[in-house]
Amino acid sequence: MSAVSPAPPPTPVDSPVDAGLLPLTAEVRPEGLVVGGVLLEQIARRHGTPLFVYDEEHLRRRCREAVAAFGRGNVAYASKAFLCTAMARLAAEEGLLLDVASGGELRTALHAGVEPDRIVLHGNNKDDAELRTAMSAGVRHIVVDSFDELERIERLHHVEGLPPARIRVRVAPGVAAGAHQAIQTGGHDSKFGFGLADGAARAAVRRARASSAVRLEGVHAHVGSQVLDPAELADGAAAMARFAVDSEVAGLTVGGGLGVAYVGGQSAPSFAVWAEKVRAAVRGAGWTGEVGVEPGRSIVARAGLTLYRVGTVKRIPDVRTYVSVDGGMSDNLRPALYEARYEAFLPRCPEAVRPQRARLVGKHCESGDVIIDDAALPEDLRVGDLLATPVTGAYGYAMASNYNKLPRPAVVFVRDGRARLVVRRETEYDLLRLDVAAEEAEPAPRGEPVAPREAVRS
């Protein structure tokens, strides 16, 4: 079975944006597109652009659908897709656990008031500080990824007296799924987990059982991301279930990876279909217990969209048209990283046909700063227009950077006619806060005078 989802057909040149790509509360009014009861043009005027806008009702519905499909206590939101304190609180309120993959994500979840017993810590190279925080706080469990990590946990327990850690052992089951090689994580050649084929996973289970520093609670795997065929996820689940039964562990987590539609012509399975396929697979492998999952993208992707202002329209005869916006790869790295595809539309006329073809680009000093290589756009697009790219709620803000010293965008949640700022826009002052000024730098060695600031040249 192929691990790569088939590419959708190209968007017809006379087609408006597919309504299935928009947030669930999106509605078209005479003045333009409204999400969460708020006009997108109004949000952009108030909060500026680039801007991430999330439909809060959409987020909550997706959380509830996941819990309904897999059961309360069995769904952990994969916060790497998008995390801020507001999102952490929302997921917890809707009955989800939180899957965090770094000390920073862990700190954010704790700051949001999420109970430690509802937090799961991931990561292939957790350092002492991350493990110390997790063990001290008493997180639900740590997903252990290597023998070196087991040794660090044992040292923290025996030397520093930290309580034993509840753990699940991450396994690379030899099943790789996902729309791009960079997001296929469960194969034999992976930086994640203990290999099943080479016996490392069995050795890790034995080691964990023999250690007084850990409490083995189960096994875990994640085979890939942006998977549109749930049978691929079921294959990984079956392999893990067989291993879990053979290892006589109490818990089984089969990760996330459910994909979403990014462009017209794509479709994605529901949580209910995913759950049906996974349950059938694990039962066929002899597993009779509960199954944990970790959706991220499928919770937040379609709930979010990015708003930009068009700054330049450059038509090169017999070549192409370039449309430049005020963001780019610093707020959406996925096209450059994974060749990810998106669509675009004008919120002032979301039902307009889009016969114009253009390369939608950002403002960075990179030729590869391309958001959509061959975007379908309305013929009357002009400088100053508000432009939106839908389905950017996952791995947009989460991967945002300050490349070219661009401040990261703000994030707004909309619901019931109200726009709520949940992450403020960075300022240029924020960009300088971590810089160490010349007079604050480490003193020069004796005999080497420091040049006056005005004398320093780049």
- Please, are residues 255 and 75 in contact by the beta-carbon 8 Å criterion? no
End-to-end Cα separation, the chain, in angstroms: 56
The 10 Å Cβ neighbour count of residue 61 is 16
Provide the token pair at 289: 């217990």
Count Cβ atoms below 10 Å from residue 85 Cβ, excluding itself: 16
Buried b (16+ CB within 10 A) or exposed e, 229-267: bbebbbbbbbbbbbbbbebebebbbbbbbbbbbbbbebe
The residue written with tokens 């409204």 in the block is 34
Place of tokens 């253009």: 358
Left (φ > 0), alpha (ψ -120 to 50) or beta: where does 25 sit?
A: alpha
Residues in the chain: 458
Residue 97's DSSP bridge partners are 76
Tokens of 322: 């370039």
Sign of CA dihedral 402, 106, 169, 64: negative
The candidate with the shortest Cα–Cα distance to 177, out of 167, 186, 168, is 186
**Rama region for 53: left / alpha / beta (φ>0; ψ in -120 to 50; rest):** beta
DSSP 264: T
Strand order in the sheet with 38-39: 27-29, 32-35, 38-39
- CA distances 155 to 43, 214, 311, 327, Å, are 51, 11, 56, 46
Q: Hey, which residues are catalytic here? A: 365
Query: Phi/psi at 13 (nearest 5 deg)?
Result: -65, -20
Compute CA 381 distance to the chain's CA centroid, rounded to the nearest angstrom. Answer: 31
